[in-house]
Amino acid sequence: MLSDQLMYWASRPVVRTYTGTMLKMDVFKHHPLPAGPKIIAANHPATTDPFYVAAMVGQQSFILINELLFQVPILGEYLRRSGHIPVAAGQGQQAIDTALERLADGKTVIIFPEGALSPEGGGFEKPRTGVARLALASGAPVIPVGVHLQWERVHTIRSTVRGRVEYGRWYIRGPYNLTVGRPLYFRGDVENRPLVRSAAETVMHHIIELAHESEIRMNQRFNPLTPLTESF
């Protein structure tokens, strides 16, 4: 854990400099982030989202992230040294168990409930149940976060990882809006499948509403005639 902390403090100035210069980050928080263990849950339009959401959190956090990224030269080494959590196909429970250990230590975990990139050009995938299982098993609050960006600035980059061709969506620069919701608390039996599914859908519902708020603010910024508020 000491090496995780050293890597975090070493990389923090680099990440903050990048997000402060290349991105026009607009962050609105409906409620301050609570102290102690918490689960940050966000939608996932671009491959770069984990790093930008972590920058918004402003404290050491551990991201559940696709295992393939750990195979990318340099980036993979950084992810390992930083203590982030690989999610491999068929090994989801192992990732959940590692995240629960981080939460038990009072840390912050970041998860993307869609389990994959959002549909290209907009929209959302149906949530997977990892976020609900984390919340029910740990008792930690879920902080929903809605991301909105300009799709025309997303670059699709082809790469080969372990002999497989993969495509990532990289958002290098431009407006990037985040809206942070109020903490959500869930109680109950993590083995109750209907409860787990309902909790996951509740989290995703809040994320979608917050992403719409982020979109409205961005539209207002570039089109002053756009209303500031809408009902959902």
77-100 pLDDT tens trace:
778 778 899 888 887 899 999 999
pLDDT of residue 232: 33
Distance CA 111, CA 19 (A): 20
Q: What percent of the chain has pLDDT over 70?
A: 83
pLDDT of residue 92: 84
pLDDT of residue 101: 97
Residues with pLDDT less than 50, the chain: 2, 6, 9-10, 228-232
- Please compute, for residue 133, the number of CA atoms within 13 A of its CA located in the half-sphere on the CB side: 17
pLDDT of residue 113: 97
Distance CA 52, CA 47 (A): 10
pLDDT tens for 39-86 read 999 999 998 898 899 999 988 899 998 887 777 777 777 787 788 998
Beta bridge partners of 155: 170
Amino acid type, 158:
R
The domain defined by 2-222 folds into: Glycerol-3-phosphate (1)-acyltransferase (3.40.1130)
pLDDT of residue 223: 74
